[in-house]
Chains A and B, each alone.
Chain A
Amino acid sequence: MFRTKRNLGRRFFVAAVMGLLALVAAFTLDLSVLSLLEAMTANKATINFFTAAFMPAFDYQAIEVPDSAPHFLLRLLEASWMTVWYAAGGMAVALLIGTSFGFFCSSFWWVEGQVKNREQRKLIAQFAFLTYFGARTLMTLCRSVHELLWAVLFLAAFGVSEVSAMLAIGIPAGGMLAKIFAEIIDESDHGPAEALRACGLGSFRTFIFAQCPTALPDLVAYLLYRFECALRSSAVLGFFGLPTIGFYLAASFENLHYREVWSYLYALFFLVIIVDVWSSAIRRRIQR
């Protein structure tokens, strides 16, 4: 009872401090809602841009379009498809990294491993700790660099190609997958694994036959969430010249074709919704 009271006090304190910080930040940055409105109404382009949101383009806004160009909606479809395509490629790389390193990043296989001989156990624990630590560090490196920075690196190395896109999306996502997969696996119920170990199965086999299937619904749910993130990254990579939504969006923006910009934004929005619906359908199927 007393603990609850104290916690409440602390929560109130934290909230108050955060509010105070927000006020200080607003003053030092000289923010005011009025100036924001002023900026929006003063600039004609801004008004044009936001009003275009209500009438996305279904055809090219440009007056002259080369005859070879496909219909705008077809281009929209193609851009969306390429966005999915690059995201899927990136996730393939990420899944490879995530599953292989996820195993080493989890503490399941070396903490739980029962080795009777004390010397042997010590040796295995040391070796395991090294690989565990190494894998964790490597994965942290992977995900501490943002997709866009990876993209800059790989575009310099491989030029504008599928490979650079796949690696730019896949490496940071893989680092994230490995970390989260490892945590999901470590936190799942260890009962089934315990039962199989009692049947005489070793660490690796209890891992693949008991621990992974037990964790499967959560693993899949996270993987699909990550796919959604990959979609967004893939769209943004278009700004570097890859033929995804971002590429066309940037071009339309530069030509002041705001209605086209909104069409591309809505396309991305629908892609994310589709993935969301799809993933919740899959989750329902696994979790029954």
Chain B
Amino acid sequence: MSSEFYRLENVSVKYGDTYALQDVSCTIFSGERVAIVGPSGAGKSTLLGLLNGGIQATEGEVYVDLQQLSRFDETALQTHRSRVGFVYQHHNLVPTIRVIQNVMSARLGRFSLFEAIRRFVYSNAEEQEEVYNLLKRLGIEEKIFHFVEQLSGGQRQRVAIARALYQEPHTLLADEPVASLDPARARETLKLFSTIAKNDELTLCMSLHQVELAEGYIDRVIGIRDGKLVFDRLSSELQASELEELYTIQDLAICV
């Protein structure tokens, strides 16, 4: 929990003329569980994209493990990305293939093309066992040979988590993991993410709408609004007024 893992230094991301993120600086430590909160369109997903290298900073610099991300060559970037597990809001699974194939897809960049195709088409007992154990941790081991399109939304999310964990990641990123869930299920899901991160010693970053749901499951909260950093606090030090501020200005805008 002590060593710095990600550092953003005055980072801006521009799409055309509009800033998705503007002059954001923050540090995320190794093994930390962080929630990124803010209203819709605040730049939460962009921030996650910066961490996994999918989005490049227009200005400023992103450091990963003390190295400048912009100086990474193609191979180094691929290696970094392959060690960051990303759970998408819409899961981004292939619906027409089996759960095990979706999970095993995560490592197919590591082998020769022939071996990759073999693993995709015909997995051996050893590989199946590994995926089975992974799914068992998430409580959906009986779904291993089901097709993804047969699964419910919650089960799909767990498959997406399994795929991310199968990457053997050092970081787990989740984009709006509880966006469409009721409070009880949302708590359960956040607890799952939190326990996984703790057990596997992963750095966890989740973008959320409401931080209240994540109480007890996160170490730190980063609040952003309109692409700007509003606060960056340990969750224990977070003031209710700060949270209120994050959303109130938007409320006013709606009233006007």
Contact = CB atoms under 8 A, between A and B. Distances in A.
Interface in B149-191: 149-150, 160, 163, 167
A199 B96 contact: no
Contacts of A117: 73-74
B67 interface: no
Contact of A199 (B77, B82, B90, B149): B82
Given A191-B90, A288-B150, A200 B82 contact: yes
B120 A192 contact: no
A217 interface: yes
A210 interface: yes
Interface string A169-182: 00000000000000
Given A198-B84, A288-B149, A116 B77 contact: yes
Contact of B95 (A120, A195, A214): A214
Interface in B80-102: 81-82, 84, 86, 88, 90-97
A199 B79 CA distance: 9
B72 to A, nearest CB: 8
A202 interface: yes
A278 to B, nearest CB: 20
Interface residues of B, number: 37
B52 interface: yes
B116 interface: yes
B109 A210 contact: no
B51 to A, nearest CB: 11
Nearest to A202: B109
A201 B73 contact: no
Contact of A210 (B81, B105, B160): B105
B113 interface: yes
Interface in A186-243: 191-192, 194-202, 204-205, 208-210, 213-214, 216-217
B147 A195 contact: no
A102 B217 CA distance: 48
Given A199-B82, A205-B113, A209-B120, A116 B74 contact: yes
Contacts of B78: 200
Contacts of B84: 198
B139 interface: no
A251 interface: no
Interface string B106-122: 11111001001100100
B82 A288 contact: no
A169 to B, nearest CB: 29
A203 B41 CA distance: 29
B54 interface: yes
B109 A200 contact: yes
B96 A213 contact: yes
B165 to A, nearest CB: 12
A205 B108 contact: yes
B105 A199 contact: yes
The winner among A191, A209, A210, A214 for most chain B CB atoms within 10 A is: A209
Contacts of B110: 200
Contacts of A120: 74
Contact of A200 (B72, B73, B79): B79
Contact of B94 (A116, A192, A201, A287): A192
B91 to A, nearest CB: 8
B134 to A, nearest CB: 15
Contacts of A208: 117
Contact of B97 (A201, A202, A213, A287): A213
A201 B73 CA distance: 16
Contacts of A287: 149
Interface of B: 52, 54, 72-74, 77-79, 81-82, 84, 86, 88, 90-97, 105-110, 113, 116-117, 120, 147, 149-150, 160, 163, 167
Given A194-B92, A209-B94, 6 more contacts: A192-B93, A198-B86, A199-B107, A205-B116, A213-B97, A214-B94
9 contacts: A116-B72, A117-B74, A191-B88, A192-B94, A195-B163, A196-B106, A200-B109, A201-B108, A213-B96
